[in-house]
Amino acid sequence: RLTLVGLEGGYILKPPVAQYPEMPELEHLTMCMAQCFGISTAQCGLIPLEDGQLAFITKRMDRNKTEMLHMEDMCQLTDRMTEQKYRGSLEQVGKAVIRHCDNSLFDALRFFEVTVYCFLTGNSDMHLKNYSLLYQPNGSVSLSPAYDLLPTRLLLPQDAEETALTLNGKKKNLRRNDFMNLAESLRLTEKQVSNAFARFSSGFGPAFELLERGFCAPETKERFRELIRLNAEQLGLPGC
């Protein structure tokens, strides 16, 4: 992970890792697919390296053209050290979002949708440093766009856990009821939750079309599609 400065505000470059084939392509694909479900993400792309491989590049969110923006991750907001980033729950993150964000109910819904998307795409590494709040120059505070979206369960198929932070007291065998309990802790209404699930069901088609156009190998795309399908079935989401 390298930070590139002097490129209109700064970018973060993630080169390929031999141990995890196609990781840049998978991260880019997962970030792009999120937008099919209405999830805001950091700007990102793929760039070719001299050896022909692709690297993932993303624009930093903690700065604009004129100044740095204050950004705090959930390790900071929950008073944990970086090495404690896996200690915590999604409910605790949600409470921090509600406590600090100006438009707390809107950002609580955004947070809920990110957690569902991460489960669907097999991202079991969304720890406390992967959720952050952004502080704008005018003083407003909001949940940052999603970042570090990666189907880690494709890269680490031996990992039995489905989430990095506990949900309803557990990290695997998650079901729709667990997410409903999270929604309740976020003070979301039944209508908000049902509408969110409906958006996911309607977004599967466009997301799979995007997946088909991705830069991954055909067998990787098929494994990714099947992972999403099985997780959607686990949540009782139609349309997948």
Tell me what pLDDT residue 3 has: 45
Mean pLDDT of the region 224-233 = 98
Residue 6, pLDDT above cutoff 50: no
- How far is Cα 117 from Cα 217, in angstroms, rounded to an integer? 22
pLDDT of residue 19: 92
Tens digits of residue pLDDT in 9-50: 588 999 999 999 999 999 999 999 999 999 999 999 999 999
- Which residue, among 4, 61, 54, 3, has the nearest Cα to 29 in the 3D structure? 54
Mean pLDDT of the 168-175 span: 97
With cut-offs at 50, 70 and 90, classify the pLDDT of residue 8.
low
Among 19-23, 63-67, 115-119, 134-138, the least confident range: 63-67
Other beta carbons within 10 Å of 192: 16
Is the pLDDT assigned to residue 65 strictly greater than 90?
Answer: no
Average pLDDT of the chain is 94
Please tell me the pTM assigned to this model. Answer: 0.95
Report the candidate in 124, 156, 146, 175 with the shortest Cα–Cα distance to residue 223.
Answer: 156
pLDDT of residue 1: 47
What single letter denotes the amino acid at residue 150? L
Q: What is residue 182's predicted lDDT score, i.e. its pLDDT?
A: 98
Residues 161-185, mean pLDDT to the nearest whole number? 98
Sign of CA dihedral 88, 91, 96, 101: positive
Q: What CA–CA distance (Å, rounded) separates 99 from 19?
A: 40
pLDDT of 125 > 90? The answer is yes
**Averaged pLDDT for residues 94-105:** 97
pLDDT of 185 reads: 98
Q: Can you tell me the distance from the alpha carbon of 27 to that of 45, in angstroms, rounded to the nearest whole number? A: 9
Q: Please, which contacts does 155-159 make with residues 24 or more away whose CB atoms are closer than 8 Å?
A: 155/20, 155/23, 155/26, 156/124, 159/124
Tell me, rounded to whole angstroms, the distance of Cα 76 from its chain centroid: 19
Give Cα 115 to chain centroid, integer Å.
Answer: 7
172 burial type by CB count under 10 A (0-12 exposed, 13-18 middle, 19+ buried): exposed
